[in-house]
Structure 1
Amino acid sequence: MTLSTQHQMLIEQRVTNEAKSTGAAYLIWLFLGGLGGHRFYLGKTGSAVVQLLMFIIGWATLVIGVGAFILIALGIWVLVDAFMIPGMIQAHKEKVRQGLTMNAMMAVGAARQEPTI
């Protein structure tokens, strides 16, 4: 079953409306990257919590030397994230598009079914 052009246009409009902003993601990365702020914004909550914990534990254990290694690892991770942000945004758009397409197909299928007596 395929969707009409009108349904597809409505889905693409919703995807555009619900898409995360690349500019906002990079601003959050710039100012709150070490705290995982950009990952929270992009819906990657689990890894965002890990980054936040690495930040806290790294600074808390910096005095004994272990924290330096944790903060260096976090810094590398955050730097790599700068290159991954566009892909994360695209993956979010595709996830939204698939969900909306599935819902539209179910609604169209339900509307086409004739009531049984």
Structure 2
Amino acid sequence: MQFGKQNLTTNELIVLSSEMRKREKSLVLAYLMLLMGHLGIHRLYLKRTVSGIIQLALFLVMFISYILFIVLVGIDDTLVDSSLYIPGFIAAGIALVGFIALTIWVIVDACLLPGIVRSWNNNLEQTLIAQIVALRPVGNPENHPGPGQFN
């Protein structure tokens, strides 16, 4: 059985509000983390751990490939053996593909973030309401948990 906020007493609403403030996700904070989007921090914040780690790993592959390109091709091409150009440009290609993939992913995430945060907060609210209702004493409806009695 699913309860809504309208089924809660005033004390239970206070507890719900307090717990929501502690645990809810902020859309503004998620967007600020998205500014570092290629690192996947915003996904880790929203408990999307697998995709956050994938974004971070893709970023590291891209970054290492870019550094490898710089080392293999060299800043001054007279100092580097020209036989290293092909591996260097392969590394540059990997870095470019990684950059394009991550950029598209971050743009899509920018569009999806409001829904993800709203969904997280709605699920959290329903979970907290269920926990509050489960803590109601049996037989005495006047004896509801107050603030500070809910973890």
**Are 1:112 and 2:138 an aligned pair?**
yes
Query: Which residue is 2:28 aligned to?
Result: 23
Greater fraction of residues in helix: 1
Q: Whole-Å Cα distance in 1 between the matches of residues 102 and 23 of structure 2?
A: 29
User: For residue 26 of structure 1, what is the amino acid of its counterpart?
Assistant: Y
Query: Which residue is 1:84 aligned to?
Result: 112
For each residue in 1:5-29, what CA deviation from the matched residue of structure 2 results, as whole angstroms up to 9, or x when unmatched? 3224532442244222222221111
Q: TM-score of the superposition, structure 2-length normalised?
A: 0.64
Q: Whole-Å Cα distance in 2 between the matches of residues 42 and 22 of structure 1?
A: 10
Structure 1: which 5+ runs fail to align? none
Q: Spell out structure 1 runs of 4+ moving beyond 3 A.
A: none
Q: Whole-Å Cα distance in 2 between the matches of residues 96 and 43 of structure 1?
A: 12
Larger radius of gyration: 2
Aligned length: 111
Structure 2: which 5+ runs fail to align? 70-89, 141-151
1:61 to 50, 60, 65: 65
Q: TM-score of the superposition, structure 1-length normalised?
A: 0.79
Query: Which residue is 2:43 aligned to?
Result: 39
CA-atom RMSD in angstroms: 2.2
The more displaced of 51-60 and 12-21 is 12-21
How many percent identity over aligned positions? 32
